[in-house]
Amino acid sequence: MIMEYTDVTEFKRLIEEKKIKHERVKSYLKKRGILFTATNSEVFAKQIYTIFLGCKEMSDITEMFQGESNFEKSLMLKAKPKDDLPSDTNLIDFFVDEISRFRSMPSAYSIEQPIRNENSDQISVYFSYEKRSPGKNKLLQTERRNLKFSVRKISNEEVAIDIRQQSSTDSSEAIKLLSKIAGLSEESTFSLIHVNLLSLPPKSSVDFFDRLMKKPFSQWKLKTITGLTLKKVDSSDADDDDDETEIIEDEGGTPVGTLAGISQAALQGSGLQHNQFVKNTLAQGYVISSMRFRYAYKRESTEFAVVVSCKGSDLRIDIDKTYAEENGQMYVTPFPKSQQDEIILEFQNISNAIYAELRNELDAEAQPLNS
């Protein structure tokens, strides 16, 4: 949201001085049916000077450039009441009550009243905490961090908790807060459930990414795999970079070597389990802990890269980059937050469903055969 309107004269100057890239503004306006033929900043600035843009357009453009280095990053876990609720109890109301109860107690966190979305099956909770940086100048020693998490119903028994984060410290604080709201084990009214890919056996963890690669989407299609991270099976759940190996290919060209084989397996629908690199990786005691996918929209000249990973005990879905085509080239162009949010929610739901499938299959295999 903008508090002061930027007039077209100022907007023209910003483009002429290349403070903002004209290709990205052209891409934004193209989606709204406003086409420009200019190929350089000066000509484009003169053309756009004649167009009146409203507050909504200017707000979107401002957000686009301010958010360039702040693509949406998320962490997802689940929660469920410990005891069976009465049949007429609304699950979201139950969590609203639990959060409101905690708000009335003294705490290091400042929590706002939960906001119920238009969809009654979801609430948003804003909170803040003080982050201390030891050793820094006293003026900069304390920083107030503002965060948000959403609680949405995914079944009659469970909710998904979606934490939007700027750093791993923020997500850790959000989980601490949720743990405090849940209460001590003997007093807690609900339990937190971690979607932990690293808790799966090696074969199942590979199956997770295999199924995710093959998943068809209505709006976009998989273009390639551009990166992956390998983690030692016997390493701890804590983030430990020494136990990880990251493989990233050049995004601009055709994947070669390791990722070429994985990309081919993904695009042709063959299984990751049969890929020679994956076989060798499993044999050496590694599993895939994250993968970076690049998707292209089916009806638009836009693309995005998304990283699906598990560091620690929770599933993370991060928008890595978003792109738009201009003059035959793809430029990094931040999508509106609403569009990034749509991608994250889709991948959270799909990833959670695949994880649940694998867990159910493992539980079924563990049960003794009926005589």
Q: And the tokens for 33? A: 């049916």
pLDDT at 192: 94
Whether 342 and 211 map to the same domain: the answer is yes
Tell me if the pTM is above 0.85: no
Please indicate, yes or no, if residue 1 is contained in any of the structural domains.
Answer: no
Residues 6+ apart with CB under 8 A from 244: 229, 230, 231, 232, 289
Whether 164 and 252 map to the same domain: the answer is no
- Helices 91-103 and 168-182, interaxial angle, to 10°? 100
Q: And the tokens for 124? A: 């948003």
Please indicate, yes or no, if residue 183 is contained in any of the structural domains.
Answer: yes
Which H/E stretch holds residue 206? helix 202-214
Which of these, 222, 220, 191, lies nearest to 209 by C-alpha position? 222
Of the residues 48, 66, 84, the one at which a domain ends: 66
Which of these, 86, 162, 157, lies nearest to 124 by C-alpha position? 162
Residues facing residue 317 across a β-bridge? 74, 308
The amino acid occupying position 261 is: G
Number of domains in the chain: 3
Please indicate, yes or no, if residue 2 is contained in any of the structural domains.
Answer: no
Whether 329 and 208 map to the same domain: the answer is yes
- pLDDT tens, 231-268? 887 655 544 555 677 777 666 556 667 788 787 777 77
- pLDDT tens, 120-143? 789 999 999 888 766 655 555 677
Range of the domain at 245: 199-366
The amino acid occupying position 262 is: I
Q: Cβ(275)–Cβ(315) under 8 Å?
A: no
**The dihedral formed by the CA atoms of 23, 24, 28 and 29, expressed in degrees to the nearest 10:** -30
Whether 233 and 269 map to the same domain: the answer is yes
Whether 12 and 32 map to the same domain: the answer is yes
Please indicate, yes or no, if residue 29 is contained in any of the structural domains.
Answer: yes
- What DSSP character marks residue 29? H
CATH code where residue 145 lies: 3.30.310
Whether 216 and 362 map to the same domain: the answer is yes
Of the residues 166, 194, 222, the one at which a domain ends: 194
Which H/E stretch holds residue 115? strand 115-116
Whether 12 and 82 map to the same domain: the answer is no
Integer CA distances (angstroms), 172 to 66, 81, 238, in order = 25, 22, 12
- What DSSP character marks residue 134? T
Using CA atoms, how far apart are residues 312 and 198, in angstroms rounded to an integer? 8
3-state DSSP percent of the chain in helix, strand and coil, to 5: 40, 30, 35
Please indicate, yes or no, if residue 286 is contained in any of the structural domains.
Answer: yes
Please indicate, yes or no, if residue 3 is contained in any of the structural domains.
Answer: no
Q: Cβ(324)–Cβ(330) under 8 Å?
A: yes
Using CA atoms, how far apart are residues 285 and 98, in angstroms rounded to an integer? 42
Whether 124 and 29 map to the same domain: the answer is no
Whether 341 and 235 map to the same domain: the answer is yes
Whether 97 and 31 map to the same domain: the answer is no
pLDDT at 250: 61
Give, rounded to a whole angstrom, the gap between the first and last alpha carbons of the chain: 65
Please indicate, yes or no, if residue 371 is contained in any of the structural domains.
Answer: no
pLDDT at 168: 77
Q: Cβ(131)–Cβ(145) under 8 Å?
A: yes
Length of the chain in residues, anyone? 371
pLDDT at 102: 93
pLDDT at 338: 85
Using CA atoms, how far apart are residues 361 and 50, in angstroms rounded to an integer? 62
- Rg of the Cα atoms in the chain: 23
Which H/E stretch holds residue 346? helix 337-366
The amino acid occupying position 351 is: S
Using CA atoms, how far apart are residues 165 and 241, in angstroms rounded to an integer? 20
- What count of other Cβ atoms lies within 10 Å of the Cβ of residue 132? 9
Residues 6+ apart with CB under 8 A from 158: 78, 79, 80, 193
Of the residues 146, 165, 194, the one at which a domain ends: 194
Residue with tokens 């469903």: 353
Residues of the chain below pLDDT 70: 1-7, 19, 50, 52-53, 62-70, 133-141, 185-186, 234-243, 249-256, 368-371
Q: And the tokens for 13? A: 């100057």
Whether 82 and 99 map to the same domain: the answer is yes
pLDDT at 2: 46
pLDDT at 1: 45
Using CA atoms, how far apart are residues 320 and 326, in angstroms rounded to an integer? 20
Please indicate, yes or no, if residue 282 is contained in any of the structural domains.
Answer: yes
pLDDT at 64: 62
Whether 233 and 317 map to the same domain: the answer is yes
Q: And the tokens for 366? A: 């563990």
